Copies of this chain bind each other. A is one copy, B any other.
Protein backbone atom coordinates (compact mmCIF):
# COMPACT_ATOMS: atom_id res chain seq x y z
CA UNK A 1 0.00 0.00 0.00
CA UNK A 2 1.15 3.51 -0.72
CA UNK A 3 2.15 5.26 2.46
CA UNK A 4 -0.28 7.76 3.95
CA UNK A 5 0.85 11.32 3.40
CA UNK A 6 -1.42 13.19 5.76
CA UNK A 7 -3.32 12.62 8.99
CA UNK A 8 -6.49 14.37 9.96
CA UNK A 9 -8.81 13.80 12.88
CA UNK A 10 -12.45 14.42 13.59
CA UNK A 11 -15.15 13.57 16.07
CA UNK A 12 -18.52 12.34 14.83
CA UNK A 13 -20.91 15.22 15.57
CA UNK A 14 -24.70 15.13 15.87
CA UNK A 15 -24.95 16.89 12.49
CA UNK A 16 -23.09 13.94 10.91
CA UNK A 17 -25.63 11.39 12.14
CA UNK A 18 -29.10 10.38 11.02
CA UNK A 19 -32.17 8.73 12.53
CA UNK A 20 -30.55 5.30 12.08
CA UNK A 21 -28.12 6.41 14.81
CA UNK A 22 -24.98 6.41 12.66
CA UNK A 23 -23.17 8.74 10.25
CA UNK A 24 -25.35 9.65 7.25
CA UNK A 25 -23.30 8.23 4.39
CA UNK A 26 -22.53 11.39 2.44
CA UNK A 27 -21.08 13.12 5.50
CA UNK A 28 -18.14 10.71 5.40
CA UNK A 29 -17.27 12.09 1.96
CA UNK A 30 -17.44 15.58 3.42
CA UNK A 31 -14.94 14.50 6.07
CA UNK A 32 -12.71 13.12 3.31
CA UNK A 33 -12.84 16.44 1.44
CA UNK A 34 -12.06 18.28 4.67
CA UNK A 35 -8.84 16.21 5.01
CA UNK A 36 -7.97 17.06 1.39
CA UNK A 37 -8.47 20.78 2.08
CA UNK A 38 -6.31 20.59 5.21
CA UNK A 39 -3.60 18.72 3.28
CA UNK A 40 -3.43 21.45 0.62
CA UNK A 41 -3.35 24.13 3.35
CA UNK A 42 -0.50 22.34 5.10
CA UNK A 43 1.52 22.91 1.92
CA UNK A 44 0.48 26.55 1.62
CA UNK A 45 -1.70 25.91 -1.44
CA UNK A 46 -5.22 25.77 0.01
CA UNK A 47 -8.31 25.86 -2.24
CA UNK A 48 -8.43 29.68 -2.08
CA UNK A 49 -4.96 29.80 -3.69
CA UNK A 50 -6.34 28.05 -6.73
CA UNK A 51 -9.59 30.00 -6.85
CA UNK A 52 -7.64 33.25 -6.82
CA UNK A 53 -5.49 31.91 -9.67
CA UNK A 54 -8.62 31.05 -11.68
CA UNK A 55 -7.92 27.32 -11.44
CA UNK A 56 -10.78 24.95 -10.61
CA UNK A 57 -10.24 21.43 -9.27
CA UNK A 58 -13.72 19.88 -9.62
CA UNK A 59 -14.46 16.32 -8.59
CA UNK A 60 -15.34 13.99 -11.42
CA UNK A 61 -15.71 10.88 -9.28
CA UNK A 62 -16.24 10.02 -5.62
CA UNK A 63 -16.83 6.72 -3.88
CA UNK A 64 -16.93 5.26 -0.40
CA UNK A 65 -17.15 1.87 1.31
CA UNK A 66 -18.68 1.65 4.74
CA UNK A 67 -17.27 -1.22 6.81
CA UNK A 68 -18.47 -0.48 10.33
CA UNK A 69 -21.12 1.77 11.88
CA UNK A 70 -19.79 5.20 12.82
CA UNK A 71 -21.60 6.40 15.93
CA UNK A 72 -21.95 9.77 17.66
CA UNK A 73 -18.94 11.01 19.61
CA UNK A 74 -16.54 8.55 18.03
CA UNK A 75 -13.07 9.89 17.29
CA UNK A 76 -11.89 9.01 13.79
CA UNK A 77 -8.49 9.37 12.15
CA UNK A 78 -8.43 10.05 8.40
CA UNK A 79 -5.37 8.93 6.45
CA UNK A 80 -4.91 10.59 3.07
CA UNK A 81 -3.04 8.64 0.38
CA UNK A 82 -2.30 10.51 -2.85
CA UNK A 83 -2.43 8.25 -5.91
CA UNK A 84 -0.11 8.51 -8.92
CA UNK A 85 -1.17 11.76 -10.66
CA UNK A 86 -2.43 11.91 -14.24
CA UNK A 87 -1.52 14.71 -16.61
CA UNK A 88 -4.68 16.71 -15.97
CA UNK A 89 -6.17 14.83 -13.00
CA UNK A 90 -5.36 13.37 -9.60
CA UNK A 91 -6.75 10.71 -7.29
CA UNK A 92 -6.88 10.69 -3.50
CA UNK A 93 -7.59 7.69 -1.31
CA UNK A 94 -8.79 7.94 2.26
CA UNK A 95 -8.80 5.47 5.13
CA UNK A 96 -10.92 6.12 8.21
CA UNK A 97 -9.58 4.48 11.36
CA UNK A 98 -11.09 4.07 14.82
CA UNK A 99 -9.67 2.81 18.11
CA UNK A 100 -6.79 0.40 17.66
CA UNK A 101 -6.58 1.52 14.04
CA UNK A 102 -9.62 -0.55 13.06
CA UNK A 103 -10.59 0.29 9.46
CA UNK A 104 -14.09 1.78 9.58
CA UNK A 105 -14.46 3.08 6.04
CA UNK A 106 -12.53 4.10 2.96
CA UNK A 107 -13.13 6.62 0.23
CA UNK A 108 -11.70 7.90 -3.04
CA UNK A 109 -12.04 11.18 -4.89
CA UNK A 110 -10.86 11.99 -8.42
CA UNK A 111 -10.29 15.61 -9.43
CA UNK A 112 -9.41 17.39 -12.66
CA UNK A 113 -7.62 20.71 -13.11
CA UNK A 114 -9.53 23.25 -15.19
CA UNK A 115 -9.19 26.83 -16.32
CA UNK A 116 -11.71 28.81 -18.36
CA UNK A 117 -13.79 25.67 -18.75
CA UNK A 118 -10.93 23.61 -20.27
CA UNK A 119 -8.91 20.87 -18.58
CA UNK A 120 -5.27 21.86 -18.05
CA UNK A 121 -2.08 20.07 -16.97
CA UNK A 122 -1.79 19.87 -13.17
CA UNK A 123 -0.19 23.07 -11.89
CA UNK A 124 3.39 22.29 -10.86
CA UNK A 125 3.02 23.08 -7.16
CA UNK A 126 0.04 20.74 -7.04
CA UNK A 127 1.68 17.96 -9.05
CA UNK A 128 4.63 18.04 -6.68
CA UNK A 129 2.30 17.00 -3.82
CA UNK A 130 1.91 13.63 -5.54
CA UNK A 131 5.58 12.80 -5.99
CA UNK A 132 6.48 9.73 -3.93
CA UNK A 133 9.34 10.29 -1.53
Give me the interface of A with B, judged by CB distance under 8 Å. Answer: 11, 13-15, 17-22, 24-27, 29-30, 33-34, 37-38, 41, 46-48, 51, 56, 58-67, 69, 71-73, 109
Contact = CB atoms under 8 A, between A and B. Distances in A.
Contacts of A38: 11
A105 to B, nearest CB: 10
Given A14-B33, A46-B73, A48-B72, A59 B25 contact: yes
Copies of this chain? 4
A47 B14 contact: yes
B48 A59 contact: no
B51 A20 contact: yes
Nearest to A32: B26
A72 to B, nearest CB: 5
Contacts of A48: 71-73
**Majority DSSP secondary structure for residues of A touching B:** mixed
B64 A61 contact: yes
B60 A63 contact: no
A48 to B, nearest CB: 4
A20 B14 contact: yes
B62 A25 contact: yes
26 contacts: A11-B38, A13-B33, A14-B33, A15-B33, A15-B34, A19-B21, A19-B22, A22-B58, A25-B62, A25-B109, A26-B26, A26-B27, A26-B62, A46-B73, A47-B72, A48-B72, A48-B73, A58-B66, A58-B69, A59-B66, A61-B63, A61-B65, A61-B66, A62-B63, A62-B64, A62-B66
